[in-house]
Structure 1
Amino acid sequence: MQGDPRVIINYLHVNTARCLGTYRALMVYQDTELFQNNFWRICANSAHDSGVVQWCSLFGSNGEDNPTHWSRSGVSNISNRDEFISKVLSPIAIPFDQWQQQHSALLEYRNKNIAHIELDDWYRAIPSFDMAIKVLFQSYIVFMNSTDHNLRNEYDRTIERANSTISQFIRNN
């Protein structure tokens, strides 16, 4: 990675939070008349899928082809799984086995529903990202040496902005 890797790692954290916040705000309207308009359904699905792809850039495969993975980016002072558990998962009370299940579900969804479509196995439920977003917030604090919750605040502001935009659309239509 050329330049300061903290810039791209910060971008991936912030944009993942924004995408998943937008998705969360839009899904409140999933069963309403708003979603009869394909535009909003496409916006929700695109925000979700973009968030999953970027989340996987940070936490997905740690092979040679993923220089932004937490273990390879050079940003984190975490060098192995035990340190990841101790500094990221333990402070937010996420057991490693639950993390592995969430991680596997998001990777499978990305691999089989976003990046590639498997013709004989294309339908699967969109995995919850509640745990993934908590890990995103905590890893931001650890990786970016942040003592505040700016990323959580950005996520919340994104939800507020999306709700404001949707409310304005509903009022005008």
Structure 2
Amino acid sequence: VLFPILYCSPIAIIAQTQRSISIITSGFLSIAAVTLIVMTTIIDHQKYEFRRSKGVIKINGVDPFFITAKYKNDNGDTAANLLLGSGYWSISRHPNYICEAATFAVFSAFQGPATLACHLPAVFIAVFLFVRLMNDETRCLAKYGQSWIQHCNKVPFRILPGIY
């Protein structure tokens, strides 16, 4: 219930305040938003195709690097997942999160240099994705153990290459 409200809030604020930005700025932000949406889709699609093919796929023309991470499922049986470390997923362990946060920041930028309160939904999304990232990291370490540590050594950055 909360996310549809958050995603619509920049447009609602613009409509209520009747604020406007220049055509050039609007065009730039539109191109940035579409680019980020396309990047998020491509990144997610790469992982989807990798999992669908069970790792038998070429990424950028070469065989992908991956780790077969074994774990115990709810029934106590041994199962395995493939941890992708090639393509976009070699840049960071959560490249889709940074694109999603940046997309929402661009949506928020359409409001122009408004008060900080207008940009709180973008801040909320960024914080939400960061908390989710940390939970994912903790859950994967608990689930995959040594395989996750190997994956982290291969793909050392969580979200921002060279930074974090």
Q: Which has the larger radius of gyration?
A: 2
Could you say whether these structures have the same fold, taking a TM-score greater than 0.5 normalized by the shorter chain as the test? no
TM-score, with normalisation over the residues of structure 2? 0.29
TM-score, with normalisation over the residues of structure 1? 0.28
